[in-house]
Each structure stands twice: as C-alpha cells, then as structure tokens.
Amino acid sequence: MALVAACDALMLGQVEQNEMTAVSLATQVQFVQNMFVLAVTSAGSILGVPVLVVYACTCLDEVGKIPWVMIRLYKFKWVKDLTISAD
C-alpha cells in the first residue's frame, strides 16, 4: 500500500497541491478499507465461519462504493481537458 501511495505521488508530481491532497485522502481511505477487509477475513477464520460467507463479506465493499462512484462519474469532474492552454 505504501508503494502505491509513493507511485501516486511520483506520477502526480507536476500537479497542484489540491490534487495531491485528494490523492493522499483517497489513499488513506483505501488503507482503512483494506484494514477492514483484513479484520473481517481474520475474524471469520478465527471464528470458523464458512469460507463463502467470509468471501461475501469482503466483497460487500464494492457494493458500498457504487453510489459514490456513480455520482462522481455523472458529474464529469474527473474529466480534465488537456487541450486547453492555461494562459
């Protein structure tokens, strides 16, 4: 996970502070989500829950992300026109 954050910072080295802050925030949210999935998987293994139930619980995060992704997608804020000069 730290490697992903480092690569993001390296790739976005030429952008402004706001974009770097957004990437940092997204990386932190992803880290918390990964810790949650690890905790669910570990707890399921310790408690003897069937593997399919643990797998289903770890896939629920994708369902939770769908509304946020669709809202962001239809606002078109992720599209940046690179053909316009910043004069």
User: What are the pLDDT tens digits along the chain (87 aa)?
Assistant: 567 667 766 776 666 767 767 777 777 777 887 888 888 888 888 888 888 888 887 777 777 778 877 887 788 776 666 676 665
The pLDDT of residue 26 is 72
Question: Per residue in 45-65, pLDDT tens?
Answer: 888 888 888 888 777 777 777
The pLDDT of residue 2 is 63
Closest CA to 6 of 23, 18, 22, 19: 23
Q: How far apart are CA 36 and CA 34, in angstroms?
A: 5
Contact partners, residue 34, CB within 8 Å, separation at least 6: 1
